[in-house]
Amino acid sequence: MSRDAFCRSLWALGAFLFLVGTLWAFVLPEFSPDRSVAAYFSLKPLPDLLGPARLLALLGGPPALGFVVLLFAVFLLYRRRQHDALFLLFAVTGTALINSVLKTLIDRPRPPLRLIEITSPAFPSWHSATSAALALSLWLLFSRPLGSRTAKVFLGFLLLLWPLAIGSSRLVLNAHWAIDVIAGWGLGILVSCTLYRVIGLQEETRVHP
């Protein structure tokens, strides 16, 4: 499968996750599995996971995320990949801005009995959306020069762990309903793949299979 075809498949996946999440939040706000996950973590918190989950909340928050994005953008500029640096900035900041607007418009309450102090609306999960956008953008940017398919898959696997860990931490802290996390992942994928299709990456970094 070519990179463009793969990204189109990811775009479809992101659109599916986001649309399902949005319909779920509007049409089935009391859907039992969503409530059951939140009830489990509020009534049976996992003490061994609370520390790592709070750390992930900090690492996935705006200050740390901004620092990481800026660090990679500077590296890309140093490598004379200005177009790619803009792609990374637009993908992550665009996801963050769209997510914040959606939070305000939808204004879905968070689960009760949260294990972290937070008062903003729940849907979609900002942490989940931006972590997915960052991971996918980095894979699109840094898997291109890799000649080995195995190396590309391994890099993808490592980057996939980040949004999975971030999203899981939001559930452990009972900061989000499960569908907030799923829709957040979908939004991050959708924005990153849309930008990839619209503005692409620098030609000099393209590697065709």
Model pLDDT for residues 111-165, shown as the tens digit of each residue? 877 777 788 888 899 999 999 999 999 998 888 777 778 888 888 899 999 999 9
At residue 208, the pLDDT reads 37
Separation between Cα atoms, residue 126 and residue 160, nearest integer Å? 17
Average pLDDT over residues 86-91: 92
- Count the alpha carbons within 13 Å of 209 in the hemisphere toward its beta carbon: 11
| Residue bearing tokens 């418009």 | 105
Return the structure tokens found at 131. 């972590």
Q: Distance of alpha carbon 77 from its chain centroid, rounded?
A: 24
Domains of the chain by residue range: 3-27+41-205
Return the structure tokens found at 41. 């973590």
CB 191 within 8 A of CB 7: no
Separation between Cα atoms, residue 145 and residue 110, nearest integer Å? 42
Return the structure tokens found at 144. 């291109």
Separation between Cα atoms, residue 108 and residue 80, nearest integer Å? 43
* pLDDT value at 191 more than 90: yes
Separation between Cα atoms, residue 209 and residue 81, nearest integer Å? 21
